[in-house]
Structure 1
Amino acid sequence: MTHWTSDQLNTIEQTGELHIQPQRADGRLRTPTTIWVVREGDDLYVRSYNGPDGAWFRTAKASGTGHIRCGGIDQDVTLTPIHDGALNDRIDGAYRTKYAAASAYVPPMVADRARATTLKLTPR
């Protein structure tokens, strides 16, 4: 599978958080980390609140693969870095809209440091 189904997208979009487990160099998965996830069109994106220094992000960047769990969905994923400014602007908007109630945490998620860690989740 290389695309999310409508049901998967809707479920993940309506869920506040997901658990991500990037794959280590030895093939094992990291301990799950709870993070925010947003939808833009038919794609899903995550960012590291701690920017490039986040441990889960460093592993994800190195391997490009991992596993997520969210709202009953249990899925292996490819993790692709996103550096498109216009797309990141739309992702910022998705974070602001979805997580408005957690307003104190939103500014760091749309700041340059976190934007630099934007990853697209693609099912594999």
Structure 2
Amino acid sequence: MKRFTEDQLQHLSHMKTVVIETRLSSHARSHSTPIWVVVEDGDVYIRSYRGQAGRWYQEITAFPSAVLHLNREQLAIRAIRVTDEATITRVSQALLQKYPTSSSSYAESMVRDEVVGTTLRLEPASLSWATDPEERKIPSKSFSPEE
């Protein structure tokens, strides 16, 4: 498993929003959307506010190679679906801690049942990693607490 650098993790943990650039395929036009991001136990997670109906979520699940724009830095990423309930719960807690309901009316929406199933873990990637059509399918993995 590829890991973000400590500097990247620190940067991501302090940013309130990032812009994700997604596309339906390597040849499709890209689409950019501001999203929330959390760092939990050294891993980076995102979730779709609109659940599975979110355009960026549909694109990243069809083609999991994307780019995060962090001010002037661009990070190529690959999304991996999270199915482990304990990890999903930790991500929900991290979201509520980073975006408290007292300062954002959207925080509670990010932990709704129809939204928690869109939890994705991000890992660094190359924009050219997906040359094989089979590799473009989004993997699903349960993470143990140690991971």
Q: Where do 1:16-31 residues align within 5 Å?
A: 16-28=16-28, 30-31=30-31
Q: TM-score, normalising length from structure 2?
A: 0.79
1:107 counterpart residue number: 108
Q: TM-score, normalising length from structure 1?
A: 0.92
Shift of 1:32: 1.1
Shift of 1:65: 1.2
Given that 2:19 and 2:34 are in contact with CA atoms closer than 8 Å, whether structure 1 keeps it comes out as yes
Is 1:38 aligned to 2:33, yes or no? no
Structure with higher helix content: 1
Q: Where do 1:1-124 residues align within 5 Å?
A: 2-28=2-28, 30-100=30-100, 101-124=102-125
For 1:24-73, what per-residue CA distance to the aligned partner results, in whole angstroms no more than 9, with x for missing partners? 22434522100000011111000000000001100000111111112443
Q: Distance in 1 between matches of 2:71 and 2:122?
A: 15
What is the Cα-based RMSD across aligned positions, in Å? 1.6
Given that 1:68 and 1:77 are in contact with CA atoms closer than 8 Å, whether structure 2 keeps it comes out as yes
When Rg is computed on C-alpha atoms for both structures, the one with the higher figure is 2
- Return closer, same or farther for 1:26/1:78 CA change in 2, 3 Å cut-off: closer
SS for the counterpart of 1:91 is helix
For 1:76-119, what per-residue CA distance to the aligned partner results, in whole angstroms no more than 9, with x for missing partners? 11011111100000000100000014331111101111111111
Q: Distance in 2 between matches of 1:107 and 1:64?
A: 26
The count of aligned residue pairs is 124
Gaps of 5+ in 1: none
Q: Distance in 2 between matches of 1:13 and 1:27?
A: 31
SS for the counterpart of 2:83 is coil
Q: Kindly, what percent of the aligned residue pairs are identical? A: 30
Gaps of 5+ in 2: 126-147
Q: Distance in 2 between matches of 1:29 and 1:92?
A: 31
